[in-house]
Amino acid sequence: MDNKQLAGVVRRLKVAMRDLPDPSVTLVGKKFKSPFLVLISCLLSLRTRDETTLPASERLFARADTPEGMLKLTLAELRELIYPVGFYKTKAVRIHEICRDLIGRFGGEVPDDLEELLTLKGVGRKTANLVLVEGFAKPGICVDTHVHRISNRLGYVRTKTPHETEFALRKKLPDQYWNEYNALLVTWGQNVCSPISPKCSICPVNTICHRVDVTTSR
């Protein structure tokens, strides 16, 4: 698949997803317009479904929306507020660690630099890129399991890991699509282009998609 075909994919997906909800972290970015809250919601979203992540984020942010405020909450309070996100006990500890680090090294502000974000404990490339995109509206390519799977399924890249996919997209994906690519493919992956038996019969890009490694579909 070349970039001209990808442009057609993006156009069709935008139309098809007009009535579908944005991913939870995208919604947090739009609602709160805070890089810090985007970062925290990213952490909560790891290995957690959106329908759990968003309510947990909103419960927590109603109590604390700054690093200083988060540190005033006990770990028990944090755990109760974010439950039932995956690994909520570990994430409560990690939130405190990151808040202390932000205050100690960055004056309580979230850095807007990829390499500096990666120095925060528990922040990987996916989270760092998503904070840049949704928190700062800066260029970034966030690759999660949906972006990795669908980019390969379309035939746009040929990679084995999300890490490889990010760097392949950095070389190939036109700049104009960087900041919207993640939200588009995550939403599509959650609703139509599922890992097993994707809904190809209702997919508006089924005539463009190469359907790489798709053996069963609906």
pLDDT at 37: 98
Parse the chain into domains and list their residue ranges: 3-21+141-202, 24-136
Where in the sequence numbering do the catalytic residues fall? 126, 144
Taking alpha carbons only, the member of 125, 157, 158 closest to residue 143 is 125
pLDDT at 144: 94
Rounded Cα gap, residues 110 and 97, in angstroms: 14
Domain 3-21+141-202 matches domain 24-136 at the CATH topology level: no
**Answer CATH for 24-136 from 1.10.150.120, 3.10.129.10, 3.30.1490.20, 1.10.340.30:** 1.10.340.30
Rounded Cα gap, residues 158 and 60, in angstroms: 39
pLDDT at 201: 96
pLDDT at 55: 96
Taking alpha carbons only, the member of 79, 80, 26, 17 closest to residue 50 is 26
pLDDT at 91: 97
Query: Domain 3-21+141-202 adopts which CATH fold?
Result: Endonuclease Iii, domain 2 (1.10.1670)
pLDDT at 175: 95
Rounded Cα gap, residues 137 and 112, in angstroms: 10
Three-state secondary structure call for residue 195 = coil
pLDDT at 195: 95
pLDDT at 189: 95
The two three-digit tokens of residue 16, written as one number: 């098809």
* Full pLDDT tens readout for the chain, 218 residues: 999 999 999 999 999 999 999 999 999 999 999 999 999 999 999 999 999 999 999 999 999 999 999 999 999 999 999 999 999 999 999 999 999 999 999 999 999 999 999 999 999 999 999 999 999 999 999 999 999 999 999 999 999 999 999 999 999 999 999 999 999 999 999 999 999 999 999 999 999 999 999 999 99
Q: Is 202 exposed, middle or buried (0-12, 13-18, 19+ CB in 10 A)?
A: exposed
Residues 6+ apart with CB under 8 A from 81: 56, 59, 60, 63, 73
DSSP string covering 125-145, please? HHHHHHIIIIIH--------H
